[in-house]
């Protein structure tokens, strides 16, 4: 039986959860979205990214201030977001280089985790692990439904941190999606994308000018992935002095 034999951690007692943002990098020529994860991850919700400082330049500074989308937007998009998480897992479970033309795990070489999820999502064993695999996503769908019903947005952040902690304590750590590069093909070539997330994702991108930032819970498994990938913020950074290989300073101008 094929599968990746890598492990996220060698000592789960030292593993912790951390909140992180995963941007989707839109390619207007190929009509694809690329997502890169450095650590094993779950999807929690959707974010906006704002600049800091908020009253003066720089005008474009990534990773400065993450703001949750409204509870209503989270609820409206929670199901397709978790469907995309599941599609990522099945894409990773395919043989390296294989793709259904819609969702792909395309990270080559030994640095990636190709076929990691095959040990959990292959047809022979799927019934044993699938319910545990989808449970965190189901919890998040219910969380955002409850948040809208509560009509108490001022305390959403506190409750979100609480459920993120609960998921880390109770979700199966090996069933986080693996690190690596995921690609979503929305071009219709070679096949039309009929994945369950497709319609919701396309509708969401239409409201955000093809930008998407996903709030994730990641395991603090450092240096799991060292393959070079395109910098998703290459066209955004204008506030760091890159005269040397390492930034010299942040210039608030």
- Residue by residue, DSSP assigns the chain as -------S-S-GGG--EEEEEEEEEEETTTTEEEEEESS-EEEEEEEEEE-SSSSSS-S--TTSEEEEPPHHHHHHHHHHHHHHHHHHHHHHHSPTT---SSEEE---STTS-TTTTHHHHSTTTHHHHHHHHHHHHHHHHHHHHHHHHHT-GGGHHHHHHHHHHHHHHHS-GGGSBPSEEEEEE-S--SS----TTHHHHHHHHHHTTT-EEEEEEEE--TTS-------TTTTT--SB--SSSS---B---
Residue 56 has pLDDT above 80, yes or no: no
Which tens digits make up the pLDDT trace of 99-130?
899 999 987 655 678 899 999 999 999 889 99
Global pTM reads 0.88
Look at residue 138 and tell me if it is in a domain: yes
80 lies in some domain: yes
Question: Which pLDDT value is given to residue 115?
Answer: 92
Q: If pLDDT is split at 50, 70 and 90, which confidence band does 74 have? A: very high
* Assigned domain for 239 exists: no
In a domain, 252, yes or no: no
In a domain, 242, yes or no: no
Range of the domain at 203: 14-219
Q: Is residue 236 part of a domain?
A: no
> 231 pLDDT exceeds 70?
no
pLDDT at 251 over 50: no
Answer yes or no: is 238 within a domain.
no
Q: How many domains does the chain have?
A: 1
Q: What mean pLDDT value characterizes the chain?
A: 85
Q: Is residue 5 part of a domain?
A: no
Question: Does the structure show a pLDDT above 70 at 152?
Answer: yes
């Amino acid at each position: 039986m094929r599968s990746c034999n890598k492990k996220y951690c060698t000592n789960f007692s030292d593993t912790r959860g951390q909140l992180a943002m995963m941007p989707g990098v839109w390619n207007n020529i190929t009509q694809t979205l690329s997502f890169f994860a450095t650590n094993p991850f779950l999807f929690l919700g959707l974010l906006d990214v704002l600049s800091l400082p908020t009253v003066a330049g720089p005008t474009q500074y990534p990773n400065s201030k993450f703001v949750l989308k409204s509870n209503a937007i989270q609820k409206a998009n929670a199901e397709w977001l978790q469907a995309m998480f599941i599609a990522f897992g099945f894409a990773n479970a395919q043989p390296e280089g294989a793709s259904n033309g819609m969702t792909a795990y395309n990270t080559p070489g030994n640095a990636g985790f190709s076929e990691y999820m095959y040990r959990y999502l292959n047809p022979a064993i799927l019934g044993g692990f699938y319910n545990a695999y989808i449970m965190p996503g189901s919890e998040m769908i219910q969380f955002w439904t409850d948040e809208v019903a509560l009509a108490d947005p001022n305390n959403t952040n506190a409750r979100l941190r609480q459920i993120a902690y609960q998921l880390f304590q109770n979700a199966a750590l090996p069933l986080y999606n693996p690190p690596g590069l995921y690609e979503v093909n929305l071009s219709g070539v070679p096949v039309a994308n009929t994945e369950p997330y497709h319609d919701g994702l396309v509708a969401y991108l239409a409201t955000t000018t093809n930008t998407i930032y996903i709030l994730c819970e990641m395991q603090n498994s450092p240096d799991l992935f060292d393959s070079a990938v395109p910098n998703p913020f290459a066209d955004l950074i204008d506030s760091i002095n890159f005269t040397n290989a390492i930034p010299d300073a942040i210039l608030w101008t």
